[in-house]
Structure 1
Amino acid sequence: MKEALGLSIEGMHCGACVRRVTDALGKVDGVEVNLVEVGSARMTFDPERATLEKIADAVNEIGFTVRSEK
C-alpha cells in the first residue's frame, strides 16, 4: 500500500533546484513524485521498496536538507 509523504526541503531557491530534486526523487525505487516546488515536495511511496531514509538521502546527496512533513 502506498503512503503519502510531504517534505520540507531547505536550500531550494529556483526552478533548477526543483528540477534537480524532482530528478533525484524520481530515481528512488518505489517513489512517485506528485509535486515539487521551491521549498517542498509531495510524493507517494511504497514502504516495502523505499524508506524515508532512502528518500532523504537522495535529496541530501545533491546538496539540500530534508525535513519530513508526514
Structure 2
Amino acid sequence: MTTTLKIENMHCGACVRRVTMALNKLPGTQVEEVQIGAARIATTATPPEILAALDKAGYPARVE
C-alpha cells in the first residue's frame, strides 16, 4: 500500500535524512520519496505505527 504523509518540523536536508532513516526502520517499508514537508512510502505498516515512528523522531505527521 502506498501512503502519502504530510510531515511537520522539516526544514533542511538533515531533516529529510532523519525522516528517511526513521521510515526505513519500519518493517515492510520502502521509502519512495522524502522531501521537506512530505513523504511517499510503500508499506505494510499501519498508519499508527508510521505516525508513532515519525513522532518519536521529532516529526509529527498525518496521513493524506
TM-score using structure 1 length: 0.88
Q: Shift of residue 6 of structure 1?
A: 0.2
Q: Report which of the two has the higher share of helix.
A: 2
Q: What is the CA distance between 1:35 and its match in structure 2?
A: 0.3
Q: Which runs of 4+ in 1 moved over 6 A?
A: none
The 5 A counterparts of 1:45-64 are 45-46=43-44, 50-64=45-59
Equivalence for 2:29:
31
Q: How high is the sequence identity, in percent, across the aligned residues? A: 47
Report the number of matched residues.
Answer: 64
TM-score relative to the length of structure 2 = 0.95
Structure 2 unaligned spans of 5+? none
Q: Of the two, which has the highest radius of gyration?
A: 1
- Cα-Cα RMSD: 0.6
Is 1:22 aligned to 2:17, yes or no? no
SS in 1 for 2:50: helix
